[in-house]
Amino acid sequence: QVQLVESGGGLVQAGGSLRLSCAASGRIFSINHMGWYRQAPDKQRELVALSTSGGSTNYAESVKGRFTISRDNTKNTVYLQMNSLKPEDTAVYYCETYARPYASSSPYDYWGQGTQVTVSS
- Model confidence over 17-28: pLDDT tens digits? 999 999 999 999
CA 119-73-110 angle, 5° bins: 65
Pairing of strands 10-13, 115-120: parallel
Position 55 scores a pLDDT of 87
Position 9 scores a pLDDT of 94
State the average pLDDT over residues 4-23: 97
